[in-house]
């Protein structure tokens, strides 16, 4: 099969992924083999190929927003069948026995393994996945549209919960890429007024198209204080700016798997019982809930389609904010 392989991290402008022929294996007892139809391209993939996140071993096939059809079943798999369409998120496996897993917080499992990081991912024609973590896709959601939901949408949904967002509140979104353009649709469905902070003129227009009440840069003063905020941009310098725009008792959730260092933080920005919280991956239940909500709203992802051969170009366009919505590889 064809697969985009990373042998050595380097700037994406140097085309770190190479398209290669690799063997197709049989699934283990607990696994499914998928014939990949689509795979979203995520900032986490960019962090991996450029060496900001370090996978346990190389070479590696990135990609963790996978939509495909079950091509082979492991001997112990139940509840799935050949030809079934499923979605595969970032969380590949969790131990199931630690205190976090027992509490339904498998996203915090210390032994967790991740798709396209610990194991080969979806920038390939086939992928092996753990059946227990494969998500059923609602019939109302098309396969292309489903790909961005499996990480960008899912982590955005968890971020809104971690920000303690309630219906009707005023929400600030700092950065407006793949995840934020889906989160705003959930927030608007909940009757929230959304302010978007982004430097990109294209992203500002996109935010307005999706119902933002106000758009500006992180340095601009919005017309009112925020009840809640989510920081999507992996820039630590924005944390004080976001906190400064929160009302007392408000919450800022940071949605970033990798981020540069936070600057010195004056205590008065946190004082007033403001909360600063990180967002770490997502649980299987998050996926179940979010996909049902996405079908009900319905969420309409904006996608830019690339063939598998152009994975490096998709990552470069992502890095330089040339994509409206999310890039998706089609196989």
Assess whether 59 and 88 both reside in one domain. yes
Model confidence, pTM? 0.94
Assess whether 291 and 143 both reside in one domain. yes
**What secondary structure letter does DSSP report for 153?**
I
Q: Choose the final residue of a domain: 239, 255, 278.
A: 278
Q: How many angstroms separate the CA atoms of 206 and 217, rounded? A: 14
Taking only the tens place, the pLDDT of each residue in 280-305 is: 999 999 999 999 999 999 999 999 99
The residue segments making up the domain with residue 306 are 2-151+281-330
Consecutive 10-residue averages of pLDDT for the chain (331 residues): 98 98 96 98 96 97 98 96 97 98 97 98 98 97 97 97 98 96 98 97 95 97 98 94 98 92 93 96 96 97 97 96 93 94
Assess whether 306 and 236 both reside in one domain. no
Please report the sign of the dihedral spanned by the C-alpha atoms of residue 96, residue 100, residue 104, residue 105: negative
pLDDT (0 to 100) of residue 56: 97
CATH code of the domain containing 251: 3.40.50.720
Assess whether 161 and 128 both reside in one domain. no
Assess whether 97 and 160 both reside in one domain. no
267 in Cβ contact with 143 (< 8 Å)? no
Buried b (16+ CB within 10 A) or exposed e, 49-63: bbebbebeeeebbbb
Q: Choose the final residue of a domain: 263, 278, 293.
A: 278
Q: Choose the final residue of a domain: 278, 293, 312.
A: 278
Q: Before 239, cis peptide (omega within 30)?
A: no
Q: How many angstroms separate the CA atoms of 173 and 184, rounded? A: 8
Q: How many angstroms separate the CA atoms of 44 and 240, rounded? A: 24
**How many domains, the chain?**
2
Assess whether 142 and 95 both reside in one domain. yes
CATH code of the domain containing 309: 3.90.180.10
The number of beta carbons lying within 10 Å of the beta carbon of residue 201 is 10
| Tokens coding 137 | 């896709």
Taking only the tens place, the pLDDT of each residue in 44-85 is: 999 999 999 999 999 999 999 999 999 999 999 999 999 999
| Tokens coding 267 | 């205590």
């Amino acid at each position: 099969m064809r697969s985009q392989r990373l042998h050595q991290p380097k700037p994406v402008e140097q085309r770190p992924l190479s398209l290669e022929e690799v063997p197709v294996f049989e699934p283990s007892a607990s696994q499914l083999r998928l014939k990949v139809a689509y795979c979203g391209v995520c900032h986490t993939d960019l962090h991996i190929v450029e060496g900001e996140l370090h996978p346990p071993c190389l070479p590696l096939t990135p990609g963790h927003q996978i939509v495909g059809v079950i091509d082979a079943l492991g001997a112990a798999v139940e509840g799935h069948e050949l030809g079934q369409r499923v979605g595969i998120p970032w969380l590949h496996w969790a131990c199931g026995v630690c205190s976090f897993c027992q509490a339904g917080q498998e996203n915090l499992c210390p032994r967790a393994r991740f798709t396209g990081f610990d194991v080969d991912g979806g920038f390939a024609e086939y992928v092996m996945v753990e059946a227990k973590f494969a998500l059923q896709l609602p019939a109302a959601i098309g396969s292309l549209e489903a790909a961005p939901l499996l990480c960008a949408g899912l982590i955005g949904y968890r971020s809104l919960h971690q920000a303690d967002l309630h219906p009707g509140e005023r929400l600030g979104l700092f950065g407006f890429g793949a995840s934020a353009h889906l989160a705003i649709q959930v927030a608007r469905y909940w009757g929230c007024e959304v302010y978007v902070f982004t430097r990109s003129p294209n992203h500002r227009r996109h935010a307005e198209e999706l119902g933002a009440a106000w758009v500006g840069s992180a340095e601009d003063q919005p017309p009112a204080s925020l009840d809640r905020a989510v920081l999507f941009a992996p820039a630590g310098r924005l944390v004080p700016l976001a906190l400064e725009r929160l009302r007392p008792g408000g919450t800022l959730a940071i949605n970033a798997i990798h981020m540069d260092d936070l600057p010195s933080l004056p205590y008065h920005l946190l004082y007033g019982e403001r909360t600063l919280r990180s967002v770490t991956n997502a649980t299987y239940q998050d996926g179940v809930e979010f996909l049902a909500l996405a079908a009900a709203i319905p969420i309409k992802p904006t996608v830019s389609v690339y063939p598998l051969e152009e994975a490096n170009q998709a990552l470069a366009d992502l890095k330089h904010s040339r994509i409206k919505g999310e890039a998706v590889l089609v196989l």
